[in-house]
Chains A and B, each alone.
Chain A
């Protein structure tokens, strides 16, 4: 038996940097450093744990769609321990929306071959959290999403999904699409050995023609949504700050009463 796991990862602008929009209202990637989306590290971690806990032959492939720099995200995942990487890169992908991104990912996942797809719960830039569900819909396989615990055994994936009203135990047959939360388990740091090994691991580069996709199906022109405007949030007017000298709680109560919260 063998198990092929594809982990989808995203290269995102650093949230602690000064993120903003380019003139075409896409995310400006030139002025802020990028990195592997933190929430995707949990997906890589779970793939590696499934691999380590399995008696089967498991291959973990990390997949990203993004510009040249996105290789950094793949490299990080490889240094954590993934076996190989696929980078879908094409100038025509600029401005692709979530529906288009899910199309490209689904095509790449099918071309790579898979038994299990693992994603993070959301990217840390767009924060939509819908790609795993879209992939399941496109691939026609079960979605087992937002798991805080996941295990794979005998062709079945099981997990726990903690919702607002209840905690649910889920189960589906492979192939399937899984997404994991930041509660699934701390992601490991790459070791020096892992970083050195990652340099030798294969990174395949595919473009749209490799996936038999046309430029019109993706990119800004092919997007099913349009951003009409983006404006920086006005700076907040400086608030009142008091130092507690014994009456801080009462002063705060006075403020809240003035605002009609009490």
Chain B
């Protein structure tokens, strides 16, 4: 059976959920071989094996932290060459983060392959893997293939449910020779983001967002309380971010993050096309807005026309009571 390389997104050995989703999808088209790089790479093996990795290729070097993107491309290319030499390679899958897409693109060019980004589903096809994408602000669904080389596909978080499937997960060390370009862009400083204790926006099963109607940074506490009652991530519309009420890293929309949670709750958000582009693939959509004419109500499964300052605290209290 052909191998499928899966690029592992991890933080000091803790594998992030989108990678486990990739392993689940990879098993539809072949045998997953995981590639884990950087500090803690070896510690990823148990989680990867639990989710179907037959093999885990690891490599650590200071280059991965000290320079931008290219060292990881060099390593992934080495992994492609080592797997191709040993057998057959069906595809390379990479999580659709900003960095993941850059790594995948450079790799695709180097190995002479086409690239598909932001797939929301993947299945085996007669002419190789078929990727489903959601385009034009999710108004169209396309099915695409890579027609040249080994398909390189990046997959959006929440594209599939994670399924465990224990496999050998044999750890092998990957031999990597860094290219001349590897040290081109130096990381001269790094300020870790303070953890809010909430789930990562793009990975969260539930996202609670606030927009213009929240009317001030201090009022985002209401949105955060609702999010915390549901164990959700907090999102913000561009209007709220541009007004300085919430950080840009939480922005949902065309110029921010694209999210696809099980449940999306939009509060005080009108639903301009730019925002819809970032949340329209959410499974269940709920909105609270004073304006009954707001376009967001065209998308919702359930909408409340009302003042969020009344509705949101009542909802939060009711959720907390029910959870008892």
Task: Judge whether B230 is part of the interface by a CB distance below 8 angstroms.
Answer: yes
Kindly state the separation between the CA atoms of A128 and B116 in the bound complex, as whole angstroms: 9
Q: Which residue of A is nearest B149, CB measured?
A: A224
Would A228 and B189 count as touching, CB distance under 8 A?
no
Q: A129-B101, A143-B69, A224-B148 given as contacts; is B109 within 8 A of A170 (CB)?
A: no
Q: Answer whether residue B166 sits at the interface, using C-beta atoms and an 8 A cutoff.
A: no
- Report the Cα distance A156→B139, complex, angstroms: 42
Chain A positions within 8 Å of B144 at CB level:
225-228
Interchain CB contact under 8 A, B109 and A244? no
Known: A19-B139, A128-B117, A256-B286. A249 touches B313 (CB 8 A): yes
In chain B, what residue has the closest Cβ to A242? B304
In the complex, whether A172 has a CB less than 8 A from a CB of chain B is: yes
B215: interface (CB < 8 Å): no
Report the minimal beta-carbon distance from A105 to chain B, rounded to whole angstroms: 13
B184 touches A172 (CB 8 A): yes
Scan B210-233; emit 1 where CB is below 8 A from any A CB, else 0: 000000000000000000001000
A236 touches B298 (CB 8 A): yes
**A261 CA / B138 CA spacing, docked (Å):** 24
- The answer, yes or no, to whether A257 is at the interface (CB within 8 Å) is yes
Give the contact-size bracket for chain B: 35 or more
Stretch in B26-34, B48-56, B315-323 touching the partner: B315-323
Contact (Cβ within 8 A) A249 B314: yes
* A224 and B146 contact, CB distance less than 8 A: yes
Residues in chain B near residue A141, CB distance under 8 A = 184
Q: In the complex, what residues of A have CB within 8 A of residue B83's CB?
A: none
A94 to B136 alpha-carbon distance, docked (Å): 19
Chain B contacts with A in 268-324, Cβ cutoff 8 A: 273-274, 277, 284-286, 288, 292, 297-307, 310-319, 322-323
Contact B254 A15 (CB under 8 A): yes
The A-B contact count (CB < 8 A) is 263
Give Cα A249 to B140, complex, Å: 33
A residues in contact with B318, CB < 8 Å: 249-250, 253
B21 in contact (CB, < 8 A)? no
* CB-contacts of B84-117 with A (<8 A): 97-99, 101-102, 104-106, 108-110, 113-117
Q: A142 interface residue, CB < 8 Å from B?
A: yes
* Per-position binary interface string of chain B over residues 130-163, scored 1 when its CB falls under 8 Å from any chain A CB and 0 otherwise: 1000111111111111111100000000000000
Asked if A167 and B190 make an inter-chain contact with CB atoms under 8 angstroms apart, the answer reads yes
B164 within 8 A of A: no
Q: Which residues of A sit under 8 angstroms from B70, Cβ to Cβ?
A: 143
| A249 with B274: CB separation less than 8 A | no
B187 CB-CB contact with A under 8 Å: yes
Complex: A97 Cα to B304 Cα, angstroms: 43
Using CB atoms, name the residue of chain B closest to A141: B184
- Find B312's partner among A19, A39, A249 (CB 8 Å cutoff): A249
Which of B68, B110, B114, B192 has the most chain A CB atoms closer than 10 A to its own CB? B68
Chain A residues with Cβ below 8 Å from B130 are 228
- A142: chain B residues at CB < 8 Å are 68, 181, 184-185
Q: Does B206 contact A (CB under 8 A)?
A: yes
B170 within 8 A of A: no
Asked if B39 is at the interface (CB within 8 A of a chain A CB), the reply is no
A121 CB to closest chain B CB (Å) equals 8
Minimum distance in angstroms from A224 CB to a CB of chain B:
3
Min CB distance, A157 to chain B, in Å?
Answer: 9
Q: B11: CB under 8 A from chain A? A: yes
Count, chain A residues at interface, CB 8 A: 83
* Shortest distance between the CB of A100 and any CB in chain B (Å): 10
Q: Which of B105, B273, B284, B315 is the one whose CB lies under 8 Å from A133?
A: B105
Answer whether A239 and B303 are a contact pair too, CB < 8 Å, given A133-B105, A142-B184: yes
How near does chain A come to B269, taking the closest CB pair, in angstroms? Answer: 15
A168 at interface by CB-CB < 8 Å? yes
Q: Which B residues lie within 8 Å of A128 (CB)?
A: 101, 105, 117-118
**Nearest-Cβ distance from residue A244 to partner chain B, whole angstroms:** 3
- Evaluate contact between A169 and B322: CB separation under 8 angstroms: no
Would you call B118 and A229 a contact (CB within 8 A)?
no
Shortest Cβ distance from A134 into B: residue: B105
- A255 at interface by CB-CB < 8 Å: yes
Once the chains are docked, how many angstroms separate the CA of A39 from the CA of B191? 26
> B189 and A231: CB pair below 8 A?
no
Q: Which 8 A-B pairs have the closest CB atoms?
A: A244-B306, A249-B314, A224-B114, A142-B184, A169-B189, A130-B105, A249-B315, A253-B318
Additional 5 contacts, C-beta under 8 A, given A144-B185, A225-B145, A239-B285: A162-B248, A168-B68, A170-B185, A233-B134, A259-B263
Footprint of B on A, CB under 8 Å? 15-16, 19-21, 25, 38-39, 97-99, 102, 121, 124-125, 127-130, 132-134, 136-138, 140-146, 148, 158, 161-173, 176, 181-183, 223-233, 236, 239-244, 246-253, 255-257, 259, 261-262
Q: Interface residues, chain B, CB within 8 Å of chain A?
A: 11, 68-70, 73, 97-99, 101-102, 104-106, 108-110, 113-118, 130, 134-149, 181, 184-193, 200-202, 206, 230, 248-249, 254-255, 262-263, 273-274, 277, 284-286, 288, 292, 297-307, 310-319, 322-323
17 A-B residue pairs with Cβ-Cβ distance under 8 Å, sorted by A, are A127-B254, A127-B277, A142-B184, A164-B201, A165-B193, A167-B190, A225-B116, A228-B144, A228-B145, A239-B297, A239-B299, A241-B304, A243-B305, A244-B311, A248-B306, A259-B263, A262-B319
